[in-house]
Amino acid sequence: MTRKTIINAIGLLLFALAPLIAAATGKTFLVSLCTQFAIYALAAVSLDLILGYGALISFGHSAFFALGGYTVGIVGFHMSQGDTLLGWAGSHSALVVWPLAVIVAALVGLVIGFLSLRTSGVQFIMITLAFSQMVYFILVGLMVYGGDDGLAIDARNTLPGINLASPDVFYYTCLALMALWMVLCRRIVHSPFGMALRGLKQNTRRSVGLGYAPLRYRITAFVLSAAGTGLAGALWANYALFVSPDMATWQKSGEFMSMVILGGMGSIFGPVAGTVVYLGLEQATTAFTEHWMLIMGPVLVLVVLFGKRGIYGWLTGGKYHD
Amino acid sequence: MTEQARLDIRDLRKSFGAVKATQGVNLSVRAGELHALIGPNGAGKTTLLSQIGGEIMPDGGSIVLDGRDITHMPAQKRPAAGLARSFQISQVYPEFTVEDNAAMAVQAHMPGGFNLWRNARRDARLREPARRALERAGLGHRLDERVANLAHGEKRQLELAMALCMDATLLLLDEPMAGLGAEESLRMAALLRELKGQYAILLVEHDMDIVFSLADRVTVLVYGKTIFTGTPDEVRAHPEVRAAYLGEEDTSVGVNQ
């Protein structure tokens, strides 16, 4: 067993036991915090798929997070008005709404990716930022759905045989989806497609010289990444029972990026570690100061300067992630 | 002659502003021929290779590969048309292992390259041809080494191995010997000699000993123009070539190292 396997196993075990630990210590907020970890980690792993493996610095991933959330919010809103999706009574099922949220995020990701992947470097960062700002202002303008104030959601979506209203059950559902997404992403980055994407990151000129068409690979990765982030948004809407344009702010995109960088770009487990540390530190420091970024900022700077492979790289040792 | 030409370049022209980098290049590489391209620094050799490879689009003229006009074909489609290129400055994937690098060259022309599920590192269809090419290029003992850790000469060998993985009919080799030590140069020359006849090769090389000992024909490029094409002996004897390139007084050795 390598050091990496041990670290991954400990992490997974802690995640799995969190509700038991919370119950034993009486700190019930732990379940809620860990649910946030799982949801944000899902988004961070998705972002890392293009950031770490494709060197595509998207500064607009909050848009997909918000779109996933608003899909849940808007469907919930119409359900509470007595409407259904295409007249179907099961429209409140997670099996319908969550895939719908993923599809919405993926389709918008396809359009944004198609337009922005023609650029690279700083232009790409700015264009993705611009698109997410567009989504933000559209959401602010949607007065029917609360505009600036956001939209409260009556109840969580339903799953047959699973009571999502229970905090523990909802936590395990989020955890399972996060784990599933991680397995999927791991397969993707080791597949021929993933190798081609990572090749483009390391040396685009070489890849083109070998006959790889960059746009096809990058756009596919971008859509997959948007889809995962959309799912995270849908889960967040269910967790908070509230969506607002704040989900689409550039600060949110920055948070996702910080989590990935903190944890270690170009690894599947790194962003999870980054999410836990980022949100954990936020939680711990906001207890005694509202200027918690004063602590987070220097930590991020140190990680970027001295540990390019992030917390996960530091934990697992070695020189390379895979 | 035209029928058996793998590569046929007619009256190729390219300017960058006022600089005429390529002004009327005519060149044909026959099947199985090792064709050397020589010329002083700044003659436009790499610019010419970049146009054949598709990184730079020419202003005029035509490039025909195996009877197919590829003048305006996008760079990433040219490998499928039979073209493999090695670069003057090694273009490899530093984070991947040696075997990964060669497998990337195999994968590029394999169906199923867009598969998102199969593990690429355990796919024998990608790995076996990669290993064979690496063995051939003399890197068989370095398969699992990260490319970032390779010596300069080994990267040149890897670059050539990748070209061999590409299922090409024409190899464009841009100074494969550049920066190699004496022993490495000899090994590379031996490999080129072995490849000769199996591929049509267009070789840009500054080492005149190698050029004159390996090449079937030599084309001389000066100021973006092809001034002469002939056998090594003809080139050595040609007065204009001697004036332009080999140096008027010294006719025995290359001066442009």
Does the structure show a pLDDT above 50 at B2? no
- The pLDDT of residue B245 is 66
What does the pLDDT look like over B91-106, one tens digit per residue?
999 999 999 999 999 9
Cβ distance A187 to B119 less than 8 Å, yes or no, reads: yes
The answer to whether B68 touches B53, Cβ cutoff 8 Å, is no
Residue A19 lies in a domain: no
Residue B92 lies in a domain: no
Does the structure show a pLDDT above 70 at B254? no
pLDDT band at B29 (very low <50, low <70, confident <90, very high): very high
Average pLDDT over residues A164-169: 96
Closest CB from A193, A199, A208 relative to B115: A193
- The pLDDT of residue B84 is 96
- The pLDDT of residue B250 is 46
Residue A68 CA: distances (Å) to CA of A168, A221, A242, B164:
22, 18, 12, 47
What does the pLDDT look like over A24-65, one tens digit per residue?
999 989 999 999 999 999 999 999 999 999 999 999 999 999
pLDDT band at A109 (very low <50, low <70, confident <90, very high): very high
Domains in chain A, number: 1
Does the structure show a pLDDT above 90 at A317? no
Q: Which helix (H) or strand (E) is A185 found in, with range?
A: helix A167-190
Average per-residue pLDDT for chain A: 94
CB of B91 within 8 Å of a chain A CB? The answer is: yes
Average pLDDT over residues A242-266: 96
Cβ distance B93 to A206 less than 8 Å, yes or no, reads: yes
Cβ distance A198 to B107 less than 8 Å, yes or no, reads: no
Residue A201 lies in a domain: yes
Residue B18 lies in a domain: yes
Cβ distance A207 to B104 less than 8 Å, yes or no, reads: yes
Residue B88 lies in a domain: no
DSSP state letter for B22: E
Q: Which of B107, B142, B165 is the last residue of a domain?
A: B165
Residue A147 lies in a domain: yes
**How much of chain B, in percent, has pLDDT values that exceed 70?**
93
Average pLDDT over residues A128-151: 97
- The pLDDT of residue B257 is 38
- Domain match, B174 and B75 both: yes
Terminal Cα distance for chain B, rounded: 33
Cβ distance B109 to A211 less than 8 Å, yes or no, reads: yes
- The pLDDT of residue A175 is 98
Residue B202: CATH number of its domain: 3.40.50.300
Residue B91 lies in a domain: no
CA distance A284 to B87: 53
Q: Compute and round to an integer the Cα radius of gyration of chain A.
A: 19
- The pLDDT of residue A2 is 86
Collect all residues of chain B within an 8 Å Cβ-Cβ radius of residue A211.
76-80, 108-109, 166
Range of the domain at B36: 1-82+168-257
Instruction: Find the DSSP H helices in chain B.
Output: 45-53, 98-107, 124-136, 152-164, 182-195, 208-214, 232-237, 239-241
**How much of chain B, in percent, has pLDDT values that exceed 90?**
76
Residue A309 lies in a domain: no
Q: Which of B148, B165, B182 is the last residue of a domain?
A: B165
- For A224, the closest chain B residue by CA position comes to B116
In the stretch 89-108 of chain A, residues with CB closer than 8 A to chain B read: none
Residue A254 lies in a domain: no
CB of B197 within 8 Å of a chain A CB? The answer is: no
CA distance B185 to B207: 10
- The pLDDT of residue A87 is 66
- The pLDDT of residue B256 is 43
Cβ distance B108 to A192 less than 8 Å, yes or no, reads: no
CB of A187 within 8 Å of a chain B CB? The answer is: yes
- Domain match, B175 and B72 both: yes
- The pLDDT of residue B144 is 96
Closest CB from A187, A198, A203 relative to B92: A203
More confident: A304 or B135: B135
pLDDT band at B247 (very low <50, low <70, confident <90, very high): low
Q: What is the DSSP string of A17-80?
A: HHHHHHHHHT-THHHHHHHHHHHHHHHHHHHHHHHHHH----S-THHHHHHHHHHHHHHHHHHH
The dihedrals phi and psi of A104, each to the nearest 5 degrees, come to -60, -50
- The pLDDT of residue B243 is 77
Residue A93 CA: distances (Å) to CA of A156, A157, A165:
9, 5, 13
- Domain match, B12 and B67 both: yes
Distance between A265 CA and the closest CA of chain B, angstroms: 14
The answer to whether B101 touches B159, Cβ cutoff 8 Å, is no
Average pLDDT over residues A99-125: 97
Q: Which of B165, B184, B218 is the last residue of a domain?
A: B165
- The pLDDT of residue A82 is 80
What does the pLDDT look like over B59-71, one tens digit per residue?
999 999 999 999 9
Cβ distance B120 to A191 less than 8 Å, yes or no, reads: yes
Domains in chain B, number: 2
- The pLDDT of residue A295 is 86
Residue B51 lies in a domain: yes
Q: Which helix (H) or strand (E) is B27 found in, with range?
A: strand B19-30
In the stretch 261-320 of chain A, residues with CB closer than 8 A to chain B read: 320
Q: Which of A49, A208, A308 to mutate to test the interface with B (most CBs of B within 10 A)?
A: A208
Average pLDDT over residues A16-26: 95
ipTM value: 0.91
CA distance A84 to A95: 15
Does the structure show a pLDDT above 70 at A124? yes
- Domain match, B179 and B201 both: yes
Closest CB from B79, B115, B146 relative to A210: B79
- Domain match, B235 and B181 both: yes
CB of B144 within 8 Å of a chain A CB? The answer is: no
Distance between A255 CA and the closest CA of chain B, angstroms: 27
Residue B17 lies in a domain: yes
Per-position b or e across B128-138, b if 16+ CB within 10 A of its CB: ebbbbbbebbb
Distance between A208 CA and the closest CA of chain B, angstroms: 5
CA distance A55 to A204: 11
CB of A191 within 8 Å of a chain B CB? The answer is: yes
